[in-house]
């Protein structure tokens, strides 16, 4: 709970966990993110929920500002005071390797444009989405 001008604001604990270790654990006032079937905004006191996440940016808000994370392949578990995001990868803007993401984007675009039937379109599209998502998030730093 943080207090602002005499009004007590509720907060929720957000933890982001990946196979390579925990990425973040802190308290925020609101989490907004994109689940597979639409945007979700989560405030403290939300009903328990489990939903898969799209390759997207997770926005974490509190009075001191907003933070972003690039999420790939995961899902979220909500409990009234706690949100857990389990993702295969989660990066803060400052941890994103922009050059690598740009190279990955270029590679995926080339693959999608080539007329070769042997390439895996779905995989190239996913790679493209991951790269653009990383670049979008990296721009906000």
Partner 1 sequence: MASLRDIKKRIDSTSKMKKITKAMEMVSASKMNKAEQNAKSFVPYSEKMQEVVASIAKHTDATHPMLQSREVKKVGYIAITADSGLAGAYNANILRKLNNTIQENHTSTDEYTVIAIGRMAVDFCKKRGLPVARSITGLPDQPSFANVKDLASETVQMFTDEEIDKLVIIYNHYVSAISQVVTTNQLLPIEAVDTTTGTSSQYEYEPSEEQILEVLLPQYAESLIYGALLDAKASEHAARMTAMRSASDNASDLIDGLTLSFNRARQAAITQEITEIIGGASALE
Write down the least CB distance from residue 40 to partner 1, Å.
8
The helix/strand/coil state of 37 is coil
Write down the least CB distance from residue 88 to partner 1, Å.
6
Q: Name the residue nearer to partner 1 (CB basis): 59 or 130.
A: 130
Write down the least CB distance from residue 67 to partner 1, Å.
20
Positions in the binding site for partner 1 (CB under 8 A): 17-22, 35-37, 40, 47-52, 73-75, 77, 79, 84, 86, 88-89
What are the angstrom distances between the C-alpha of 136 and each of 26, 70, 106, 120, 122?
23, 9, 15, 24, 21
Q: Name the residue nearer to partner 1 (CB basis): 22 or 66.
A: 22
Q: Name the residue nearer to partner 1 (CB basis): 74 or 93.
A: 74
Q: Name the residue nearer to partner 1 (CB basis): 63 or 80.
A: 80
DSSP secondary structure letter of residue 94: G
What are the angstrom distances between the C-alpha of 78 and each of 31, 42, 51?
11, 8, 9
Give the rounded distance of the alpha carbon of 14 from its chain centre: 12
């Amino acid at each position: 709970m943080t207090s602002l001008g005499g009004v007590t604001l509720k907060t929720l604990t957000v933890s982001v966990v990946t196979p390579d270790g925990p990425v973040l654990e802190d308290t925020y006032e609101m989490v907004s993110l994109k689940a597979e079937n639409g945007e979700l905004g989560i405030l403290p006191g939300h009903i328990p929920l489990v939903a898969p996440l799209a390759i997207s940016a997770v926005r974490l808000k509190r009075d001191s500002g907003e933070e972003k994370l690039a999420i790939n392949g995961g899902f979220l578990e909500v409990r009234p005071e706690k949100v857990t995001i389990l993702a295969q990868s989660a990066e803060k803007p400052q941890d994103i390797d922009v050059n690598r993401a740009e190279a990955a984007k270029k590679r995926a675009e080339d693959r999608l444009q080539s007329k070769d039937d042997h390439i895996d379109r779905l995989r190239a599209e996913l790679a493209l989405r991951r790269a653009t998502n990383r670049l979008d998030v990296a721009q906000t730093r």
